[in-house]
Amino acid sequence: MIKPMLLVVSSILFVLSLALLIFSLWEKLPAIQFGSLALGDITNLLTAVLTMVGLAVAFVSLYVAIAAYQKSVKDSEEQQKSLDASRQQLQAVVDAATQQQEILTRNLETSKVQQELLSKSLATSKVQQEIQTKNLETSKAQLGLLEAQRKQEEERQSRKPIAEVAIQTKAGPSPLEAIEKQPPLDFPLEHNKKWGRVIFLVSNKGNIEISRPLVRIVAIPNKVFVDHADFRFGERDGHNEYQFSGPNVVDIAPIDIAGGPFKYAVDITVPDSLDAFDLTFSIQGNNLKRKTHTLHIKVIRPSS
């Protein structure tokens, strides 16, 4: 837009200058005669010509200046465009770098959060591992206790009492298993006495005590009285049998612990009408099945 304006201004100036020159010469043209020109006229004419040349030179200079100015303006605009493009590219780079920085910052924060979560998970895993270790140790201890209890129970169940019963004779203890297969056992009575004492010996040959033993001695027929030694009664219910039981009866420990057999003594009263009777001995306990022996007894009275 500047270039057309400058051309218009230059053209106007040139035209005005040319018109001024023509007008100055116009008045003098009829009188001009080149053979009779005065020095002043020649000077004026040369001045006018030089003015025209100067105006032409000025016009050319102005045109050149305008062209240089326009080129400068165009170069400035192109440089400005380049600068703007560079600025946009730089801004794009800055924006991209800013976005990358923001992304890196978010990633870093995310990594920190993940690291914290991982640390917490690791701590939780350690606590769980410790709990599992303690539970494992507790389970091992419980298993060991259960195993020990099982072994004790198996050992207890494998242990059992073994009751061997004998009767005290003048020759010493005689096992009932042997005597009950032999002829009747003599039962001597003293002079003027209708009773005699019988002592049974119970030996526990097992490896555990006979728990809560119950010893029962029965005479048949029922005319025979059986009483605790030194506690004879003339008449009582079930007088032909006696039972050792109750809180005063202790467990029968194994013989290697007890140091000897347990004694059960009874006094047996025989009426004059009987010369023989059977005597049954039985023993049982909480952990011992009932064991029974029957002896055939022959009464021996002193001669009168």
Residue 189 pLDDT exceeds 50:
yes
Longest CA span, the chain? 231
- Name which of 266, 262, 272 is nearest 197 in CA terms: 266
Q: Which of 99-108, 213-222, 268-277, 292-301 has the lowest mean pLDDT?
A: 99-108
Q: In a 10 Å sphere around its CB, with 0-12 CB exposed, 13-18 middle and 19+ buried, how is residue 219 labelled? A: buried
Residue 282 pLDDT exceeds 90:
yes
Phi, psi angles (nearest 5°) of residue 301: -105, 150
Higher per-residue pLDDT: 87 or 29:
87
Higher per-residue pLDDT: 1 or 250:
250
Phi, psi angles (nearest 5°) of residue 184: -55, 145
- Name which of 260, 29, 274 is nearest 166 in CA terms: 260
pLDDT digit string, tens, across residues 118-170? 888 888 889 999 999 899 999 899 999 998 988 887 777 778 899 999 999 88
Tell me the mean pLDDT in the region 264-291: 93
Tokens matching residue 116? 């914290």
Beta-carbon contacts of 280 under 8 Å, excluding residues fewer than 6 positions away, are: 216, 217, 218, 219, 220, 292, 293, 294, 295
- The C-alpha atoms of residue 31 and residue 20 are separated, in whole angstroms, by 19
Residue 38, pLDDT score: 62
Residue 27 pLDDT exceeds 70:
no
Name the average pLDDT for the chain.
83
- Contact (CB, 8 A) for 257 and 205: no
Residue 195 pLDDT exceeds 50:
yes
Higher per-residue pLDDT: 71 or 17:
71
Residue 1 pLDDT exceeds 60:
no
Place 44 in a pLDDT band, splitting at 50, 70 and 90: low
Tell me the mean pLDDT in the region 74-96: 83
- Contact (CB, 8 A) for 201 and 173: yes
pLDDT digit string, tens, across residues 32-41? 444 555 666 6
- Contact (CB, 8 A) for 55 and 14: yes
pLDDT digit string, tens, across residues 53-82? 676 667 667 777 777 777 888 888 888 888
Q: In a 10 Å sphere around its CB, with 0-12 CB exposed, 13-18 middle and 19+ buried, how is residue 213 labelled? A: buried
- The C-alpha atoms of residue 275 and residue 249 are separated, in whole angstroms, by 33
The total of other beta-carbon atoms located within 10 Å of residue 200's CB is 23
Give the containing element (helix H, strand E) for 19: helix 2-26
Place 263 in a pLDDT band, splitting at 50, 70 and 90: very high
